Structure 1
Amino acid sequence: MEFNKPRGTRDFLFEDMEERKYVENTIRSVVENYGFKEIKTPIFEDLELFTTKSGEGIKEEIYHFQDKGGRDLALRPELTASVSRLYNNNLQKAAKPLKMYYFGSCFRYERPQAGRFRQFWQFGIEVIGGTPVYNEAEIIAMANDALSKVGIKNYEVAIGHLGIIKGVLNHLNISAEDITSIIASIDKEDYELLNSLLDDCSVTDEYKDIINKIINVNGSRGDLEDLKASVEDIEESYDAVCQLIETLKVVETFGFEEYTVKLSIARGLDYYTGIVFEVYVPDLGAEKQITGGGTYNLTALFDSEEVESTGFAFGFDRIMEAYHRQNLAYESNDDNKVLVVPIKKDFKLDAIRVAQKLRSNDIITDIDLKGKKLKKNLSYANNNNISNVIMIGQSEVENNTVTLKDMLSGEQETISLDDAIERLSH
């Protein structure tokens, strides 16, 4: 009987995993250099955690089930809710800001298509507490730093602030329900629907013009200075514009200036309260967005103290797709890989002792214990990017030496094991 992988999932082979580990570890290195520490949450949680955050409709999009005790559980569709639950359970009294990151798989029951899978991976960061302006600037600069270190090219960073458009809608006393619908239409760039919703809310042409002026900002920090005059009588919007200007100044101080101010970014989620940003890789076409985030207040959903958080999550699989589309490659440390070959089966135990000595010195070591011919072992080394072969025969055993062959140059030399270790270590 033949079994196939479930629909919407993937198998990753050796080269796939080497690439994914390289990208993951590169991002880890960047965020840890910024002072973030790793957390881990369960793959499944109480179903109510996700319905509280996203509404009952989320049930249609996720894997949920009852366990043997009759408890309603769900495989996590994302990690933000789990992080907020972790904070509420364990960290409310911890000193702020809390700077954390996470990496793990998530699950969505949706139709598999290009760039979308039922099991996928997120690499996210959260800052809980602290000063939003500086938190926002730091994570935007950090996201740019991570993508740059991975080698992703031609990506675009768009930054906005939901408080600007929400300020106008609050000024007009539009209901929370209608604000949600209006924000969703902006997020979908459905401007025909937007105009219809504004008409339904009896928004005058004067304020329609202000709203259109806001969502059409797609340029530089200087455009925000021009926008100030349009919203100077709307205190909430004016303050949001000033906050965004201040955040962008700090972003530039971090050394990142290649961003676009885009005030039509809405993120489509009610809990965002301020800065929002997204990163696009146009090479990915319709699935070009590889991350999104901002400042939000999610902890209040779980009956805890109100505290602002700032965060984002990389769509790790989309980063990998961009990595492949752009034909990127990493430099593997093949110079430090060795294959130990006993020339005859009589020398297998000697080869094992040599291999263990190499491994104890942090040298990646494979060993032939099957007894293949030397020619096949050399071919194996070439095919697996192993740059060095150590051969153990009668002479080597008697003289306490090894024969080291450089697979790139073809040169070989019989030397002491200590000398071989020193050479391979450098």
Structure 2
Amino acid sequence: MSITKPRGTRDFLPEDMEQRRYIESIMRDIVKKWGYREIMTPTFEHLDLFTLKSGETIVDELYNFTDKGNREMALRPELTAPVMRMYTNELQATSKPLKLYYFENCFRYERPQKGRYREFWQFGVELIGSKKEDADAEVIALAMSILDAIKVNGTLNVGHLGVIRHILKELDTEHQSNIMRYVDKKDDTGLDDYLENINATASLRRNLFELISIQGDDALEKAKEVVGDIEELQYFKNVLNILDIYEIPYNIDFGIARGLDYYTGIVFEIYADNLGAQNQVCGGGSYQLIKLFGGGDVPSTGFGIGFDRLMQICDLVCPKPKNLMIISTDNTRSEAIKIGQRLREIVPTQVDLMHRNFKAQLSHANNIGADHVLIVGEKELELGKFTLKDMNTGYQETIHIDDIIDRLTS
């Protein structure tokens, strides 16, 4: 009987994991330098956590189940809601702003396609407790800094949902949410039909389509002509001014809606080349979810990076660590193990586990890509010196163990 991996999942071989961990380590290093601290939430949560945030329709996209206690549970489809639940349960008394980051796997039951899987990894941050422009700008700047550190060229588009909602303020919440989804999908035809079906006024329809089509350096001035000198536009301008201080290029896009009701103000998306239609690698913005989960009215800003999509286009190559294999005989195997223990403090070291002969051990060292072999034979033990061979150049020398350590660390 042959058992294959579940549809929409992947096996990662050693080379894959070395590359993924290398890129991950760079990303972790960046967020730590900005003062963010790592958290981890459970792989599964109560189903209500996600339906409260996204509605009952999300159930069709989840891996959900009833546990042995007859509780409705779900594998997490994203990380923002679990982090907000954690904050509400355990972190409300923490000094603000609270800077958190995470890197975890998520699960969605959807049709697998290129760059999209049923199990995928998300790297993200949440900045909780500040409603100032500085917080929104920092989160955007951090996202761009991460992509810059791993040599991924990203195009940043920034918008403000408050400006769109100003136009829609005469409509009820349900209509606003549906309109936002059409805007998010860039479905102008569907949006036009929907506005007609709900009998939206001609001025609303005209102003909305004009706003979401605005682009260019004078976008703020054009938006001001549509909606007036509203507070949301001034806030947006302040955020952009701070991004200018960070020297981060951006495009203003009032058509970014993110498609989720909990976003309240600044929203942004980052697109990368060489990914085809599915080229968004990062998305985020400001939101207020904590109140929904029983906490206070606390502002938050965050983003999520699709790690799997990044791995498709990231050209950084994981540096290969130097490694060594000790070749020994049956009579010197014990000493080889002792030497191996000492050398592992310096360099990744292997000893023969198959009781191969000398030639076979040397061949195996070559097959696994060992940079050096250390020959621990009976003659070497008598002399107190060992032969160190560079497998890349073929050069070898017989030297004392202390000198070997110097060679390997130089």
Partner of 2:400: 416
Superposed, which structure 2 residues align to 1:351-370 within 5 Å?
351-361=336-346, 363-370=347-354
TM-score, with length taken from structure 1 = 0.91
Partner of 1:332: 319
Equivalent residue in structure 2 for 1:186, among 183, 188, 204:
183
Alignment pair present for 1:248 and 2:244: no
Equivalent residue in structure 2 for 1:266, among 254, 257, 280:
257
- Distance in 2 of aligned mates of 1:51 and 1:63: 13
- Distance in 1 of aligned mates of 2:220 and 2:367: 57
Superposed, which structure 2 residues align to 1:335-350 within 5 Å?
336-342=322-328, 344-350=329-335
The Cα offsets for residues 199-235 of structure 1, whole Å up to 9 and x where unpaired, read as: 3454444443332232112334x421343233225xx
Quick check: 1:295–1:310 contact (8 Å CA) kept in 2? Answer: yes
**Structure 1 letter corresponding to 2:177:** T
Shift of 1:96: 0.5
Partner of 2:168: 169
Alignment pair present for 1:11 and 2:8: no
Question: Where is the helix percentage greater, Structure 1 or Structure 2?
Answer: 1
The Cα offsets for residues 278-325 of structure 1, whole Å up to 9 and x where unpaired, read as: 1112311122111111000011111210111100111111111223xx
Quick check: 1:339–1:389 contact (8 Å CA) kept in 2? Answer: yes
- Distance in 2 of aligned mates of 1:168 and 1:59: 31
2:277 match: secondary structure: helix
Equivalent residue in structure 1 for 2:374, among 355, 366, 390:
390
- Distance in 2 of aligned mates of 1:226 and 1:375: 77
Q: For residues 382 and 256 of structure 1, do their structure 2 counterparts lie closer, same or farther at Cα, with a shift above 3 Å needed?
A: farther
Partner of 1:152: 152
Equivalent residue in structure 2 for 1:321, among 312, 317, 339:
312
Report the number of matched residues: 410
- Distance in 2 of aligned mates of 1:206 and 1:126: 37
Superposed, which structure 2 residues align to 1:300-311 within 5 Å?
300-311=291-302
Shift of 1:56: 1.4
Superposed, which structure 2 residues align to 1:2-401 within 5 Å?
2-153=2-153, 155-170=154-169, 173-220=170-217, 222-232=218-228, 238-257=230-249, 259-323=250-314, 328-334=315-321, 336-342=322-328, 344-361=329-346, 363-401=347-385
Q: For residues 379 and 164 of structure 1, do their structure 2 counterparts lie closer, same or farther at Cα, with a shift above 3 Å needed?
A: farther
**Structure 1 letter corresponding to 2:246:** F
User: Identity percentage over the alignment?
Assistant: 44
TM-score, with length taken from structure 2 = 0.95
Shift of 1:131: 4.0
- Distance in 2 of aligned mates of 1:321 and 1:377: 37
Q: Which runs of 5+ in 1 are unaligned?
A: none
Q: Which runs of 5+ in 2 are unaligned?
A: none
Quick check: 2:150–2:316 contact (8 Å CA) kept in 1? Answer: no
Shift of 1:93: 0.9
Shift of 1:169: 1.2
1:89 match: secondary structure: helix
Q: For residues 372 and 329 of structure 1, do their structure 2 counterparts lie closer, same or farther at Cα, with a shift above 3 Å needed?
A: farther
Q: For residues 163 and 118 of structure 1, do their structure 2 counterparts lie closer, same or farther at Cα, with a shift above 3 Å needed?
A: same
Quick check: 1:84–1:299 contact (8 Å CA) kept in 2? Answer: yes
- Distance in 1 of aligned mates of 2:28 and 2:345: 26
Shift of 1:366: 1.7
